[in-house]
Structure 1
C-alpha cells in the first residue's frame, strides 16, 4: 500500500513518501547558561524548546494528470494560514500540527521528474495522540496520562443544582475555581429570577395588541415545536411582519436574552428578528435585533438601541457600524440588561458545537439623564421582512427569557450557575465559559489553568453532588 501523508485532513494518492525522511526524534532544546567569571562551567538558567522541522522526501505518480494541475493542487492543499494536522505512516497514530514551509526542494525536478522534498515547520513542537475522555463517577476521578509530557485538560461541568462556586483540584493542590463558597454567616441568594421563558409552546398566552414595531405589523407567528416561526408575514410597503406582546411582573433591573437563527439562501433575501421592551406607560425602553437588509449580498447585522426610534443611528449602541459580517447564516444570541442607570447590550454568534460564543460584541450606555428608567412591564417579539424581497429560510426565535436582577449585598453570596448550565474550564486555550460565554470575571485570584501531569492524576470537583463532570485531553509526546 502506498505511503502517503495526510495534511489538513486530506491525502493525495499520487503523492508517495520515499525512504529517507529526515526527522529529529524530538524538537531541539535550547539551554540558556549563565557563566560566572572565576567559576568553572556554567549555571543552567532556563531551557527553551524550539520549533520542530520535518523534511519529507516524496515522489509523484501522476497517473495521467498533468504536472501543471498537480502544481496547482499542491499549492491549494499545502499553503494554509494556520498550523494544520499532519499525519504520516509509522507514527503510531500521532499527529503533528504543521505549516508548509513555503519551499519545495528541486521544484523543477519535482515537476519534471516527479521527485523532491516537502518541508514543514511545527510551531507546537509536540506530537499528539487521539482525544481521550473520562467521566467523574462521582466527585473524583483517577486517570493516567501516558504521554511523555504534561497534557492540557478541558473540563465540562453540567450543573445539577444552583451553585455559588465550582472548583476542580488536582493531587498537587493546584486548582481552578469560579465564584466562592458561602460562609456560614452569609445568606445565599439568587440574583436572577426568571420571569418569562417562551419557546413557542405557549404563544397563545401572548397578545397581538397593542404592538408597535419599526414598520408595519402584519401576518402571524407560530411554532414548529422547537421555536417561534413566521408562517405568514402579511403585507406592507417596507418592513413588515407579525409581532406579539406579553406582560411580565414589573421590574426595575432586568435581563432579556433571545436566542435566534436566520439564513438567507438567496443574496437578496431579507429578514429581521427583534425584541422590544416597554415600561408601564408603553414607552419604549429599547430593542435588540439581528437582520439582513441587503438587496444583493449576505449581510448580517445586529442592533441594540436605547429608547424609541428617533433617527437612523441615534441611540444605537450596536449597529451596522460595529457589528456586521457577510455570511449566509446567523445562529446566536442578543441580550439587553439594565442595572441601575446602566444599559448593557451583547450580541454573539454561537459556534456550531454550541459550546462557545464567537464573534461577540459587548457595549453599554449610562442613562445619566434618567430618560429610560421606567419599570419593565411588556416584552414584544417580532419577525419581519422587507417588501418585494425573497423570504429568508426559516428565521426563528429559538427562545426568549426575561429575568429580574438584584444586587447581592455584602453579607450575601450569589449563585453563579443554575441547573442545566454548562461550565467549561478549558486549560488548553485558557478559557472559562458558562454556556459558551467568557466568564473569567468569576475566576478566583489563586486559581490557575493547571496541566495533567505525566503518569497518575487524581482530580476532585466541588461542591459535591452538584455536577456531572467530564474531562477530555490529548496526550502529548516529544
Structure 2
C-alpha cells in the first residue's frame, strides 16, 4: 500500500510521506467571550469568535547521504514557503481542501539510517475546510440549493441576460441582492444608455482593411506602418513587424463605424507581456471622417534594459496627454475612453486570467475649449516595435465601440444587453458585469450579500424570464 502524503499549492512530492502525530483539531476552534457579573453565579456569552488553527504535520523521507538530504531540505523550503495561504490537501481527508501557510521553520530532522524525520508547522488563518466546487443551473426563476457542509458557504451567482434589463435581483427569502433600478411603469421608461455600434472579438479580420504600408501614424503612439497580423487563439497577433531603421514599425488595420459618434465609449482589450530589452506599442487610434486623429490610447514600453516599464497612455488629438500610468506589466488590460459632452474619462484595468478586473486607474479631462470634439468614424489598431529591437509579446483581444445616449430624467438605463453576464460574487462581495466590477450599480439600501446555510436554501430571481442562471459554491466544513 502506498504511503500517504499531501498536496500543497498544487504540488506533490512523491518522495515525501506523512507519519503519525498530526495535531490538527477535529473541528474549528471557537473562542467564547464570557461576561461575568459580581454576585451572580456563572456568566453570559458576550460573543463568539472562530480562531485560526495551527498544527504540526510529521513527515519523513529517505536520503542517500547528507548532501542529498541538504538538497531535499532546500527543495522543501522552495516548495513550502509562500507569501500567502495556498491549498493543502491530505490523502487521509479525501475531497477536503484547507488554505494554509507554513509558519516558523521546518523542525530539525532526525536521522535514522537513510530515513529523515521532521515536522511542518501549518497555520490556517481560515480554519474551515472546503469541498469541491459544485455548479447548479436553474431552469425556473426559483429553485432549491442543498448545502451539505457544516458551515455557511458563499455562492457565486452568474446571470446571462437573454434580453435587456434595468435591474437584477436574487433573494434567499430572508435577504436579497440587487443592482440597477426597477421601473415604475407610471413614471419611467427603460432606455439604452449605451448603444453598441461595434463588438469585435478579434477572431477574424472581417470588416477590417490593411492600413497602407509606409503610412505614418501621427503622435507619440504612432510610427511607420509595415508588416502584417495573423490570427491567434481568438486574438490578433503580429506575424511580421516589417522594418524601419529610424524608429517604430509594425502592422495596422482599420475599420469604419456604421455612424459618426459624438458621445462615445470605446473599450480596447489587449495583452502586453514585456521584459527587459524588449520594446512595443499596442494601441488604438480613433479617427474622424477626414482621417484626422481624435484620440489614441494603449500600452507602450519604450525603455531599454530598465526592467519592466510599460506605460498606459491616452492622448487627445494625437498629442494632448490626459492619462499616463506606469505599473501594468506582463498582463492583460482593459482600456476605456469615454466622451460625454466635453468630459473625457480614461480608465485602465488589469484583468485576471478568467477576465475579472482589478487595479482600476481612472482620470478625467474637461475639454473646456472644445478642441477635441470632432465625431469619431473610424478606428485603427497599431502594434509596433522599435528599429531592430526584440518586440514584447503583444495581442489584440477585443474592441467594443458604443454610442453614449443622453437620457431624460424619467428614463431608466438598461444595465445589460442580451448576452451580457451579471455576477453576484458573494465570496469577494462584488458585483460584476462581463468581468468589470460594478459596485456603483448597487442602489438598493436593503440589498446585501448572503450565504447558503447548511441544508436546503430557496433562491428566487427577478425579473422573470430574463436570465440563464448558474450558481457555484464550495461546501464548507467546521
Q: Provide closer, same or farther for how the CA distance between residues 155 and 39 of structure 1 changes in structure 2, counting only shifts above 3 A.
A: same
The answer to whether the aligner puts 1:420 opposite 2:419 as a matched pair is yes
Q: Provide closer, same or farther for how the CA distance between residues 178 and 111 of structure 1 changes in structure 2, counting only shifts above 3 A.
A: farther
Give the drift of 1:373. Answer: 2.7
Contact 1:201 1:223 in 2 (8 A): no
* Whole-angstrom distance in 1 between the partners of 2:63 and 2:384: 55
Q: Provide closer, same or farther for how the CA distance between residues 243 and 69 of structure 1 changes in structure 2, counting only shifts above 3 A.
A: closer
Contact 2:316 2:322 in 1 (8 A): no
* Whole-angstrom distance in 1 between the partners of 2:312 and 2:95: 48
Give the drift of 1:207. Answer: 6.4
SS at match of 1:66: helix
Give the drift of 1:128. Answer: 1.1
- Paired position in structure 1 for 2:23: 22
- Paired position in structure 2 for 1:138: 140
* Whole-angstrom distance in 2 between the partners of 1:413 and 1:110: 73
Please show how residues 113-192 of structure 1 align to structure 2 within 5 Å.
114-172=116-174, 174-185=175-186, 186-192=188-194
* Whole-angstrom distance in 2 between the partners of 1:7 and 1:230: 39
Please show how residues 296-335 of structure 1 align to structure 2 within 5 Å.
296=305, 299=308, 301-310=310-319, 315-319=321-325, 322-325=326-329, 327=330, 330-335=331-336
* Whole-angstrom distance in 1 between the partners of 2:58 and 2:318: 66
Q: Provide closer, same or farther for how the CA distance between residues 382 and 29 of structure 1 changes in structure 2, counting only shifts above 3 A.
A: same
* Whole-angstrom distance in 1 between the partners of 2:430 and 2:166: 19
- Paired position in structure 2 for 1:44: 45
Q: Which moved more, 1:239-248 or 1:84-93?
A: 239-248
- May I ask how many residue pairs the two structures share in their alignment? 465
Give the drift of 1:30. Answer: 1.1
* Whole-angstrom distance in 2 between the partners of 1:110 and 1:362: 59
SS at match of 1:114: strand
Please show how residues 425-440 of structure 1 align to structure 2 within 5 Å.
425-440=424-439
SS at match of 1:36: coil
The answer to whether the aligner puts 1:290 opposite 2:290 as a matched pair is no
* Whole-angstrom distance in 2 between the partners of 1:57 and 1:230: 53
Match of 1:201 among 202, 205, 224: 205
* Whole-angstrom distance in 2 between the partners of 1:433 and 1:256: 19
Q: Which moved more, 1:213-222 or 1:428-437?
A: 213-222
Q: Provide closer, same or farther for how the CA distance between residues 17 and 247 of structure 1 changes in structure 2, counting only shifts above 3 A.
A: closer
- Paired position in structure 2 for 1:32: 33
RMSD: 2.7
* Whole-angstrom distance in 1 between the partners of 2:297 and 2:389: 22
- Paired position in structure 1 for 2:267: 257
- Paired position in structure 1 for 2:462: 462
Q: CA deviation digits over 1:84-114, x for unaligned, max 9? A: 1122233232121111122334x15369972
SS at match of 1:272: strand
SS at match of 1:451: coil
* Whole-angstrom distance in 2 between the partners of 1:154 and 1:17: 35
* Whole-angstrom distance in 2 between the partners of 1:434 and 1:290: 24
Q: Which moved more, 1:127-136 or 1:110-119?
A: 110-119
Q: Provide closer, same or farther for how the CA distance between residues 117 and 409 of structure 1 changes in structure 2, counting only shifts above 3 A.
A: same
Please show how residues 212-223 of structure 1 align to structure 2 within 5 Å.
212-214=217-219, 215-219=222-226, 221-222=228-229
Q: Which moved more, 1:468-477 or 1:24-33?
A: 24-33
* Whole-angstrom distance in 2 between the partners of 1:49 and 1:40: 26
Q: Provide closer, same or farther for how the CA distance between residues 211 and 280 of structure 1 changes in structure 2, counting only shifts above 3 A.
A: farther
* Whole-angstrom distance in 2 between the partners of 1:15 and 1:136: 44
Contact 1:221 1:228 in 2 (8 A): no
In the alignment, structure 1 segments of 5+ residues that lack a partner are: none
Give the drift of 1:151. Answer: 0.7
- Paired position in structure 2 for 1:371: 371
TM-score normalised to structure 2 length: 0.88
Contact 1:254 1:404 in 2 (8 A): yes
- Paired position in structure 1 for 2:350: 349
The answer to whether the aligner puts 1:76 opposite 2:81 as a matched pair is no
Contact 1:228 1:397 in 2 (8 A): yes
Give the drift of 1:176. Answer: 1.3
In the alignment, structure 2 segments of 5+ residues that lack a partner are: none
Contact 1:270 1:292 in 2 (8 A): yes
